[in-house]
Chains A and B, each alone.
Chain A
Amino acid sequence: METKNIMIVGVGGQGTLLTSRILGALTIQAGYDVKLSEVHGMAQRGGSVVTFVRYGDKVYEPVVEEGQADVLIAFERLEALRYAHFLKEKGAIVVNDNRIDPMPVVIGAAKYPENIIEELEQHHRVYKVDALEEAKKLGNSRVFNIIVLGIAAQHMNFTKEEWLKVIEETVPAKTIEINKKAFEVGYNLHS
């Protein structure tokens, strides 16, 4: 199989690491070679963070490069736009339609771009969700990233049962049920 390239982008603290770990565990159970690359340390403190997941028969490079991503999972709008050029021509963007102002915007030194979703839609297949709103409906705003992951699952070659099994094995025991529910919400949203 040709190597599949997935990117998870967001703002430090949004849970990109947990999401990539679920995806990593899934690819291993399916018997692929896999590499994940993460950002720790200073860069994580509310900064722009990106995690790469690559799986296939044999994976060398641990990072995804410009023009190579099959799926871009973005937990924040501006971050989706920042990394959109990493997508392949027919790649899919799954974007949480949420805005977090970076410091240059907060202090008025820069403007938060308008119409991001529309701009992305001009060049890519875009699947958007207000995951925070959906997560609040479930009673726990922290599971928003699993909702986003549920949408992304529609663009990867694993069954729903495989996903749910891995979520069960990866998230803390107390949060298994809510995370599974969150996944279902995302999975059914654009199907």
Chain B
Amino acid sequence: MAEKVIMLGNEAFARGAYEAGCKVSAAYPGTPSTEISENIVQYEEIYSEWSPNEKVAMEVAIGASIIGVRALASMKHVGLNVAADPLFTVSYIGVTGGLVAIIADDPGLYSSQNEQDTRAIARAAKVPVLEPSDSSEAKEFVKFAFDLSEKYDTPVIVRATTRLAHSQGMVELNERIEREDKPYVRDFAKNVMMPGNAKGRHLVVESRENALEKDGCNFSINKVEYQDTSIGFITSGIPYMYVKEAFPEASVLKLGIVNPLPRKLIEEFAAKVDTLYIIEELDPIIEEQVKSWGIKAIGKEVLTVQGEYTANLLRKAIGGEKLSIAHPAQVPNRPPILCPSCPHRSVYSILNRLKIHGAGDIGCYTLGAVAPLSVVDTTVCMGASISTLHGMEKAKGKDYIKNWVALIGDSTFMHTGINSLINMVYNKGTGTVMILDNSTTGMTGHQDHAATGKTLMGEDANAVDIATLCKAVGVNHVYEINAFDTERLEKAIKEATAMDEVAVIITKSPCILLSKAPSKKQYHILPEVCKKCGMCMKPGCPAITKLENGTIAINDTMCNGCGLCEQACKFAAVKPVER
């Protein structure tokens, strides 16, 4: 009997790629897709890499596919926006070796800047989409996707959501099937997308869509469960689980392929049930198409386009059940925060003191938008800090941004920030850019990138010297300062923002979580010296608490010993202790 193990959805995706004979995997980390690559790396048969961004990752996979090797790209939903350019055109080119992209959506916004629906992009790109419902299907659907990709000469998207990617369930392991590489055949009409060739390929894409719509009706990954036919559900992915939980007696059409929709299968099912519901998280992608065929169905009239669904949500919206649920207690929120000893806190406490605005970016440092630091004014997307600051300057003149800086992390700078910096210099901007270099991709759980000196596969690699890179693109004023050297840092910020030229300040201090051992040094507050003024609390360190009696204390299980509070105290009441 095959071995059965418990696996995270993302672990199962990786296993599926392994069993399918995939040989190349490229990705940029992003919650909730990161663990796919982190698990693929254990399979030595697969070359895997962190690319600097999702567009590069997609193109690496495309290259491998073109010369006949099975390849995978994985990313979060917003990453697909970055990779949309190659995706839309590889849809025309098709594949030689199977090409699969696993894209993870984030309904409920656990760790993202928007709640977009990948299926909408896939429809626009005319790329088939498969949607698994649990870890076991995650593995199987990836294998199915590789076969489908080669059979229909198309890239295939496997769509995940946070709940699938970060849930664990049982998976049966199978052997890897090694595949011979397909021979590369030079084919200009297929692989060179200039207008004349693309016209021909567009016809191929349309007929592929038609074929998939018909053939998809017989795919083994769709499931029809006829039970009580007075009520029927069309659903897919994780919402299938909520339907089964809330309406175990109902008939269900569970779609494994959600683009293009298997029309005949859906029409047959719709004809057999009295009332038809369409249950899909986020946008009404299935619903709008089904209704456009003249089929009567209920969907977003009673359900939301926001957030995650649950069985209770369906019970209430569809069953009309009045659930007697105790009310939640009214308690203070606990939003995510910068860790104790996070170097970003040191930088932000200076910016806060100097009343400087930050054009922000994507990473842990986005948390500088919340009180008490409140220095990050904007967050749009990866790399946008530098270019939005530049836009502000061009709109209102250089004096307007004298109290602004762009705030970006090292990994995000390598992702797309560098383009924006080149632009700022080229187009004669004068902005101050702060690169908060913590030597890792922090928020997603510490992945390497082109400036850390290590690859995903653990090999030593060239580490881009960010300061040299900035100078090379034409920045004449580059500072490198330890994030906790607040005196020098404050001076540099004042100097740089006053300048009529682009300046880059690189704050160099590794993410506190990179060091696994607990800090040897800690701080405590001498109660007899403390004046209870609260200056040490200004930077918002979670390890410092004001007790009921007004005394301020440092929590010894949380303090990591950065000493920012010691620097803030004017009365020498904060003292280091050896642990």
The docked-state distance in angstroms from the alpha carbon of A43 to that of B163 is 14
Tell me whether A106 and B169 are in contact in the complex, defined as CB-CB below 8 angstroms, given that A43-B336, A60-B245 are known contacts: no
Q: In the complex, how many angstroms separate the beta carbon of A22 from the nearest chain B beta carbon?
A: 12
**Cβ–Cβ contact B332 & A102, under 8 A:** yes
Q: Is A165 an interface residue (CB 8 A)?
A: no
Q: Is B285 an interface residue (CB 8 A)?
A: no
**Cβ–Cβ contact B312 & A101, under 8 A:** no
**Cβ–Cβ contact A102 & B334, under 8 A:** yes
Residues of B within 8 A of A60 (CB): 241-242, 244-245
**Cβ–Cβ contact A81 & B339, under 8 A:** no
Residues of A within 8 A of B544 (CB): 106
Tell me whether A107 and B372 are in contact in the complex, defined as CB-CB below 8 angstroms, given that A43-B111, A66-B326, A84-B329 are known contacts: yes
Residue on A nearest B135 in the bound complex, by CB: A35
**Cβ–Cβ contact B32 & A40, under 8 A:** yes
Task: List B208-267 residues whose CB lies under 8 Å from chain A.
Answer: 238, 241-242, 244-245
A11, A61, A67, A85 — most chain B CB neighbours (10 Å): A61
Number of B interface residues at 8 Å Cβ cutoff, please give it: 57
Residues of A within 8 A of B527 (CB): none
**Cβ–Cβ contact A66 & B337, under 8 A:** no
User: Which of B34, B169, B371 is A109 in contact with, Cβ under 8 Å?
Assistant: B371
Q: Is B540 an interface residue (CB 8 A)?
A: yes
Residues of A within 8 A of B558 (CB): 100
Residue on A nearest B30 in the bound complex, by CB: A41
Residues of B within 8 A of A85 (CB): 325-329
Q: Is B427 an interface residue (CB 8 A)?
A: no
Tell me whether A24 and B6 are in contact in the complex, defined as CB-CB below 8 angstroms, given that A35-B169, A60-B241, A78-B332 are known contacts: yes
Tell me whether A47 and B170 are in contact in the complex, defined as CB-CB below 8 angstroms, given that A34-B6, A41-B31, A41-B110 are known contacts: no
The docked-state distance in angstroms from the alpha carbon of A65 to that of B238 is 15
**Cβ–Cβ contact B163 & A100, under 8 A:** no
Residues of B within 8 A of A35 (CB): 134, 167-169
Task: List A55-96 residues whose CB lies under 8 Å from chain B.
Answer: 59-63, 65-67, 78-79, 81-82, 84-85
The docked-state distance in angstroms from the alpha carbon of A82 to that of B310 is 19
Residues of B within 8 A of A59 (CB): 169
Tell me whether A66 and B335 are in contact in the complex, defined as CB-CB below 8 angstroms, given that A85-B328, A103-B540, A106-B537 are known contacts: no
**Cβ–Cβ contact A37 & B6, under 8 A:** no
The docked-state distance in angstroms from the alpha carbon of A85 to that of B6 is 29
**Cβ–Cβ contact B312 & A66, under 8 A:** yes
Residues of A within 8 A of B193 (CB): none
Q: Is B166 an interface residue (CB 8 A)?
A: yes
B238, B245, B333, B334 — most chain A CB neighbours (10 Å): B334
The docked-state distance in angstroms from the alpha carbon of A13 to that of B542 is 12
A38, A40, A44, A141 — most chain B CB neighbours (10 Å): A40
Residues of B within 8 A of A81 (CB): 329, 331
Residues of B within 8 A of A104 (CB): 332-333, 335
Tell me whether A112 and B443 are in contact in the complex, defined as CB-CB below 8 angstroms, given that A36-B168, A45-B339, A63-B310 are known contacts: no
The docked-state distance in angstroms from the alpha carbon of A112 to that of B547 is 10
Tell me whether A102 and B111 are in contact in the complex, defined as CB-CB below 8 angstroms, given that A37-B166, A85-B325 are known contacts: no
**Cβ–Cβ contact A63 & B31, under 8 A:** no
Q: Is A168 an interface residue (CB 8 A)?
A: no
User: Which of B238, B331, B540 is A78 in contact with, Cβ under 8 Å?
Assistant: B331
Residues of A within 8 A of B169 (CB): 34-36, 59, 62
**Cβ–Cβ contact A107 & B371, under 8 A:** yes
A37, A44, A46 — most chain B CB neighbours (10 Å): A46
Q: Is A39 an interface residue (CB 8 A)?
A: yes
Tell me whether A42 and B241 are in contact in the complex, defined as CB-CB below 8 angstroms, given that A65-B310, A107-B540 are known contacts: no
Residues of A within 8 A of B134 (CB): 35, 62
Q: Is A28 an interface residue (CB 8 A)?
A: yes
Number of A interface residues at 8 Å Cβ cutoff, please give it: 54
The docked-state distance in angstroms from the alpha carbon of A105 to that of B335 is 11
Tell me whether A47 and B111 are in contact in the complex, defined as CB-CB below 8 angstroms, given that A38-B167, A61-B310, A103-B371 are known contacts: no
User: Which of B242, B335, B444 is A102 in contact with, Cβ under 8 Å?
Assistant: B335
Tell me whether A45 and B540 are in contact in the complex, defined as CB-CB below 8 angstroms, given that A61-B241, A65-B312, A66-B326 are known contacts: no
Q: In the complex, how many angstroms separate the beta carbon of B192 from the nearest chain A beta carbon?
A: 40
Task: List B524-551 residues whose CB lies under 8 Å from chain A.
Answer: 537, 540, 542, 544-546
Residues of A within 8 A of B31 (CB): 40-42
The docked-state distance in angstroms from the alpha carbon of A7 to that of B34 is 24
**Cβ–Cβ contact B242 & A78, under 8 A:** no
The docked-state distance in angstroms from the alpha carbon of A48 to that of B238 is 23
Q: In the complex, how many angstroms separate the beta carbon of B332 from the nearest chain A beta carbon?
A: 4
Q: Is B69 an interface residue (CB 8 A)?
A: no
Task: List A100-140 residues whose CB lies under 8 Å from chain B.
Answer: 100-113, 119, 123, 132
Q: In the complex, how many angstroms separate the beta carbon of A128 from the nearest chain B beta carbon?
A: 17
Residues of A within 8 A of B324 (CB): 67
Binary per-residue interface labels of chain B (67-90) against chain A in the complex, 1 for a CB within 8 Å, 0 otherwise: 000000000000000000000000
Q: Is B370 an interface residue (CB 8 A)?
A: yes
Binary per-residue interface labels of chain B (472-483) against chain A in the complex, 1 for a CB within 8 Å, 0 otherwise: 000000000000
User: Which of A12, A36, A110, A123 is B167 in contact with, Cβ under 8 Å?
Assistant: A36
Tell me whether A46 and B310 are in contact in the complex, defined as CB-CB below 8 angstroms, given that A12-B336, A63-B163 are known contacts: no
The docked-state distance in angstroms from the alpha carbon of A60 to that of B244 is 7
Task: List A13-30 residues whose CB lies under 8 Å from chain B.
Answer: 13, 24-25, 28
Residues of A within 8 A of B245 (CB): 60-61
Q: Is A184 an interface residue (CB 8 A)?
A: no
Residue on A nearest B248 in the bound complex, by CB: A60
Binary per-residue interface labels of chain B (336-363) against chain A in the complex, 1 for a CB within 8 Å, 0 otherwise: 1111000000000000000000000000
The docked-state distance in angstroms from the alpha carbon of A71 to that of B135 is 25
**Cβ–Cβ contact A100 & B371, under 8 A:** no
The docked-state distance in angstroms from the alpha carbon of A61 to that of B557 is 36
The docked-state distance in angstroms from the alpha carbon of A182 to that of B241 is 37
The docked-state distance in angstroms from the alpha carbon of A66 to that of B315 is 13
**Cβ–Cβ contact A101 & B337, under 8 A:** no
Chain B residues packing against A (C-beta within 8 Å): 6, 8, 31-32, 34-35, 110-111, 134, 163, 166-170, 238, 241-242, 244-245, 310-312, 323-329, 331-339, 364, 366-367, 370-372, 443-445, 537, 540, 542, 544-546, 555, 557-558
**What are 20 A-B pairs at a CB distance below 8 A?**
A28-B170, A34-B168, A36-B6, A36-B169, A41-B110, A42-B110, A42-B364, A43-B110, A45-B336, A45-B364, A61-B241, A61-B245, A61-B311, A65-B312, A66-B312, A79-B334, A84-B326, A100-B555, A103-B540, A107-B372
What 6 additional pairs, Cβ within 8 angstroms, besides A33-B170, A40-B110?
A36-B168, A45-B443, A61-B245, A78-B331, A107-B540, A113-B332
* A-B pairs with lowest CB-CB distance, top 4: A41-B31, A41-B111, A47-B336, A110-B332
